[in-house]
Amino acid sequence: MMRPGLCSVTFRQLTAEQVVEATAAAGLEVIEWGGDVHVPPGDTARAAEVARATTDAGLAVCSYGSYFRPGVQDDLEPVLDSAAALGADRVRIWAGGVGSADASDEHWATMIARLKVAAEQAAARGIMLALEYHSRTLTDTAATTRRLLNEVPALSTYWQPNVAASDESALADYAALQDRVSAAHVFSWWPQAERLRLHERESLWRGFFSAASRAAVPPRDALLEFVLDDDPGILAAEAATLRGWIMDAA
């Protein structure tokens, strides 16, 4: 079954130690540590401290959520150093900073070349790179994400529902990518970026977990992100909803 977990960026206002405590108390299993606040790239001493706190609480580090964008930041080594110190075997990266509709052929070629180099750097250290599925990048549609995955076979991708996408559209996007999806960011926004409680898009998420459970290679992790009002007080209830959907789909 997919492992239920938390993206630490959900609670940027908490210390890493408080994130660990909240995650364990909510009955989750894994944490994706973010590189913007909790585990800065290159600070391997802090990464090792956070790794120890995570495992001491009976949790696992599932990934390192970096903000590395080839062509914007070109030095991947500090990110890989922190991922290695965390014990993370997957690093989330971003496919540049230009949306696919605005990207020239030259931009595509440059991004593909840089992603190939980055994937080789990571693989040399036993780490996989996974693309953020997000607007204003080359992975803003399922078709363009598939194009990058085909060009750089060493990559996997995350998946999350696009803003304002209907349940049917979001699930069709997942279906188009499911053989290469290594993790999902789980949150409920509607009709645009308005945050809801997780259960308020139950049909979407039950559809996703049902499809994911039947995939030849299901995502390894389902990670809560963007809870209502950034409120740690609702994490236990949101985690229970997530765990229930995973169990029901198994």
Q: What is the CATH number for 173?
A: 3.20.20.150
Beta strands in 126-218 (DSSP E): 128-131, 156-159, 181-186
- On average, the pLDDT of the chain sits at 97
In eight-state DSSP terms, residue 27 is T
pLDDT cut 70: percent of the chain above it: 100
Structure confidence by residue, pLDDT tens digits, 35-44 = 999 999 999 9
- Quote the pLDDT of residue 145: 98
* pLDDT for 62 beyond 90: yes
Q: Read off the pLDDT of each residue in 43-67 and give the average, rounded to a whole number.
A: 98
* pLDDT for 53 beyond 90: yes
Alpha-carbon 85 to chain mean position: 19
Half-sphere exposure of 111 (CA within 13 A, CB side): 27
* Cα separation, 97 vs 82, whole angstroms: 23
* Cα separation, 124 vs 237, whole angstroms: 40
Q: Which long-range contacts (CB under 8 A, 24 or more apart) does 76-79 make?
A: 76/118, 76/121, 76/122, 77/121, 78/41, 78/42, 79/35, 79/41, 79/42
Boundaries of domain holding 83: 3-249
- Quote the pLDDT of residue 71: 83
**Number of compact structural domains in the chain:** 1
Structure confidence by residue, pLDDT tens digits, 158-202 = 999 999 999 999 999 999 999 999 999 999 999 999 999 999 999
Q: What pTM, to 2 d.p., does this model score?
A: 0.97
CB burial string 91-113: b at 16+ within 10 A, e below? bbbbbbebbbeebeeeebeebbe
pLDDT cut 90: percent of the chain above it: 98
Q: Read off the pLDDT of each residue in 95-99 and give the average, rounded to a whole number.
A: 95
- Quote the pLDDT of residue 73: 83
Structure confidence by residue, pLDDT tens digits, 198-245 = 999 999 999 999 999 999 999 999 999 999 999 999 999 999 999 999
* pLDDT for 74 beyond 80: no
Q: Which of the four pLDDT bands, split at 50, 70 and 90, describes residue 72? A: confident
Q: Read off the pLDDT of each residue in 131-140 and give the average, rounded to a whole number.
A: 97
